[in-house]
Amino acid sequence: MSLVVRKQSQVGVEPRQSRLSAMLKEMAAYKICYLFIAPYAILFFIFTVVPVVMAILLSFTYFNMLQPPQWVGLHNYVRLFLEDEIFLIAVKNTLIYAAITGPVSYLLCFVTAWLINELKPRARAFLTLLFYAPSISGNAYAIWQIIFSGDTYGIVNGFLMYWGLTDGPIQWLLDPDWIMPIVILVVLWMSMGTGFLVFVAGLQGLDPRLYEAGAIDGVRNRWQELWYLTLPQMRPYLMFGAIMQITSSFTIASEISNLVGFPSTDYAAHTIVQHLQDYGSIRFEMGYASAIAVILFFMMVVTQRVVQKLLNKVGE
Amino acid sequence: MAARFSIRKTRLSRSTGGDIVIMLFLILGAAFMVIPMILIISNAFKPLNEQFLFPPRLFVRNPTLKNFHDLMVMMAQSWVPFGRYLLNSLIIVSLGTLGNVFFGSLAAYVISVRKVPGTKLFMNIVVLSLMFSSEVTRIPNYVTIAFLGWIDSLRAIIIPRWSAPLGLYLVSRFIEGMIDRSLIEAAEIDGAHDFRIYWQIVMPNIKPAWLTMIILSFQELWRTQGGNYIYSEQLKTLPYALSQITQGGVARQGVQAAVTLIMMIVPIVVFLINQSKIVDTMGHSGMAN
């Protein structure tokens, strides 16, 4: 009896075992490859994968870096949504920034790349540099502080008063009504980064014969050409560009702190990342800050997924 | 051939009205992008009395090098010798970039050429990590780095950089688009081992990709101030030291303009030199679904 059972189980297990051992054998044959990928993979796990899990775990604790973390359940999340009014302002602001700068900068990147693509190579390279430069210029956005400076020496105030459009200087960077529009303007100015380059490159790589064939098949103007020929071909680039733009549109923070101060007047420009920095780097409430990070993480990943689904429909 | 095509293209599907709208859009956009840049350059050469003019001027009238001279004087008076800040920045930029390019391209070789079991899943995780910013992992990373005892050491900035995901993604996409399988097979028949294939066949053929990786890494590390990790003055970076110099209010506005110009011009020049290679690399960055 027992013999039969053992035999059956052996029969059931054998193929799986051999598959496993075959895989192990295959992996052993590629030993050197795993050795190659190991340094990157180990560091990537230590500094990217594990921290996401750790952030989720820490978000359920009280942790101040001195004492060991104390389990507090959902308390941090309850506090965030029910007691922390500033966090709710930050969520609202972050969503506004993301909803405006995300799509607008994405469209600007694509439209500009598309228009530049019609030009001759020299002009194209020059304009690419010109549009891309602000995004890599580090702290160059500080110049907007001088442009929108609240005294009469500010460029905008100076011209408005010179032309008699206002009586006195406007406190652009301190007035809660003006802070957000100005931050959005500055963020847009420096948002044509990797996504823009991806589009420029993707458009250059499209097959010219496609357009010749399209013209013969009755594509009459550049708009039809864009919709029926260019966009479907560009889909892989549109998806990658979207990832880059969405990630950066959710992470606007240091620009705001440097332009309008930290915290801004009435928290008018406060974002989730700033709130995270406040609790993580200033108050050392690591558990609470982790809860903020977790919420930010899910907001970004969910948005990314939804946008990828939408982009999958382009040109279908 | 190319010339003939471009003539045909304009004839077939381009209207004059559309051309005008497009030119207008491009001119307006370019003006929006370039005016602040012009202002940065021109401010750096403005004497103090021109910094505070009413009405303000876009262009400098009596250009002077005084701002740069003042900056030099302040750098010379610095408590920590200024060369030390520069050295720290150079160490961070060079070691951080070197490790990122070497380990990243080595991993990309395994993922895109060897395709051994498990690497596809790994690549998907790397792509997922592009979807959120490093702010999410900031606190656990601080805990980890404190645990490793790297606080107040340049390692805290250099070593995590070695696993930056964007460079790996770009290089691996580029390998898949550019490397001919038969080339690898021929090398294998000749008895080349993996490291030789990686170093002598793959790497020379993907030069644009790793140059791009170098530049992206440079742009990121060049502006590093040390953040929460570096406390000792002698370990601080150049951007930190320069930002300290400009914290002097109105009187320092000229120096600040000079600093902004210096910090801005370096990454732009680096990009300009390698522009065609970067665009080449990005041309393979599309996502396969």
pLDDT at A6: 45
pLDDT greater than 90 at residue B259: no
Interface test with B, best of A26, A61, A139 (most B CBs within 10 A): A139
Between CA A198 and CA B142 the distance in angstroms is: 32
pTM (2 decimals)?
0.87
pLDDT greater than 60 at residue A10: no
Among B137-141, B183-187, B251-255, the least confident range: B251-255
Pairing of strands A70-71, A61-62: antiparallel
Per-residue pLDDT band for A78 (boundaries 50, 70, 90) equals very high
Q: Is A22 on the interface with B (CB under 8 A)?
A: no
pLDDT at B248: 66
Q: Which CATH class is domain A76-311?
A: mainly alpha
Looking at chain A, which residue has its C-alpha nearest residue B114?
A33
Q: Is B18 on the interface with A (CB under 8 A)?
A: yes
Per-residue pLDDT band for B227 (boundaries 50, 70, 90) equals confident
- Chain A hits for B1, CB-CB cut-off 8 Å, are none
Among A261-275, B242-256, B270-284, the least confident range: B242-256
pLDDT at A203: 92
Looking at chain B, which residue has its C-alpha nearest residue A188?
B33
Contact at CB, B136 and A296, closer than 8 angstroms: yes
Q: Is A36 on the interface with B (CB under 8 A)?
A: yes
Q: Is B22 on the interface with A (CB under 8 A)?
A: yes
Contact at CB, B163 and A300, closer than 8 angstroms: no
pLDDT at B4: 41
Give mean pLDDT, residues A244-262. 87
CA distance A120 to chain B (A): 10
Task: Write the pLDDT tens digit of every residue in B65-84.
Answer: 988 998 888 888 877 888 89
- Chain A hits for B8, CB-CB cut-off 8 Å, are 212, 215
CA distance B161 to chain A (A): 9
Q: Is B109 on the interface with A (CB under 8 A)?
A: yes
pLDDT greater than 60 at residue A11: no
Among A110-114, A217-221, B23-27, the least confident range: A217-221
pLDDT greater than 90 at residue A210: no
Among A72-81, A225-234, B103-112, the least confident range: A225-234
pLDDT greater than 80 at residue A66: yes
Percent above pLDDT 70 for chain B? 93
- Chain A hits for B100, CB-CB cut-off 8 Å, are none
Give mean pLDDT, residues B238-244. 86
Between CA B9 and CA A117 the distance in angstroms is: 13
Contact at CB, A128 and B275, closer than 8 angstroms: yes
CA distance B97 to chain A (A): 13
Instruction: Compare CB distances from B138 to A161, A293, A294 and report the shortest one's residue.
Output: A293
Among A146-155, A239-248, A271-280, A288-297, the least confident range: A146-155
- Chain B hits for A143, CB-CB cut-off 8 Å, are 36, 39-40, 43, 260
pLDDT at B71: 87
pLDDT at A168: 79
Tell me what the pLDDT averaged over chain A comes to.
87
- Chain A hits for B34, CB-CB cut-off 8 Å, are 130
Looking at chain B, which residue has its C-alpha nearest residue A148?
B36
Q: Is A189 on the interface with B (CB under 8 A)?
A: yes
Q: Is A314 on the interface with B (CB under 8 A)?
A: no
Q: Is B83 on the interface with A (CB under 8 A)?
A: no
pLDDT at A2: 42
CA distance B225 to chain A (A): 11
pLDDT greater than 70 at residue A3: no
Among A1-10, A42-51, A124-133, B80-89, the least confident range: A1-10
Among A5-19, A21-35, B42-56, the least confident range: A5-19
- Chain A hits for B126, CB-CB cut-off 8 Å, are 44
Tell me what the pLDDT averaged over chain B comes to.
86
Ordered by start, the domain boundaries in chain A are 2-58, 76-311
Contact at CB, A296 and B32, closer than 8 angstroms: no
Instruction: Compare CB distances from B110 to A37, A276, A293 and report the shortest one's residue.
Output: A37
Contact at CB, A40 and B276, closer than 8 angstroms: no
Contact at CB, B56 and A155, closer than 8 angstroms: yes
pLDDT at A15: 62
Percent above pLDDT 90 for chain A? 50
The domains found in chain B, sorted by start residue, are 14-64 (no CATH), 79-282 (1.10.3720.10)
Between CA B246 and CA A134 the distance in angstroms is: 20
pLDDT at B10: 46
Give mean pLDDT, residues A249-266. 85
pLDDT greater than 50 at residue B9: no
Contact at CB, B194 and A52, closer than 8 angstroms: no
Give mean pLDDT, residues A51-72. 92
pLDDT at B249: 66
Per DSSP, the residues of chain A read -HHHHHHHHHHHHHHHHHHHHHHHHHHHHTHHHHHHHHHHHHHHIIIIIHHHHHHHHHTTEE--SSSPPEE-TTHHHHIIIII-HHHHHHHHHHHHHHHHHHHHHHHHHHHHHHHHTTS-HHHHHHHHHHHHHHHHSGGGGGHHHHHT-SSTTSHHHHHHHHTTS-SS---TTT-HHHHHHHHHHHHHHT--SHHHHHHHHHHHTS-HHHHHHHHHTT--SHHHIIIIIIHHHHHHHHHHHHHHHHHHHT---HHHHHHH-SSPGGGTT--HHHHHHIIIIIS--HHHHHHHHHHHHHHHHHHHHHHHHHHTTTT-
- Chain A hits for B222, CB-CB cut-off 8 Å, are 138
Contact at CB, B132 and A301, closer than 8 angstroms: yes
Give mean pLDDT, residues B189-208. 90
Between CA A207 and CA A226 the distance in angstroms is: 14
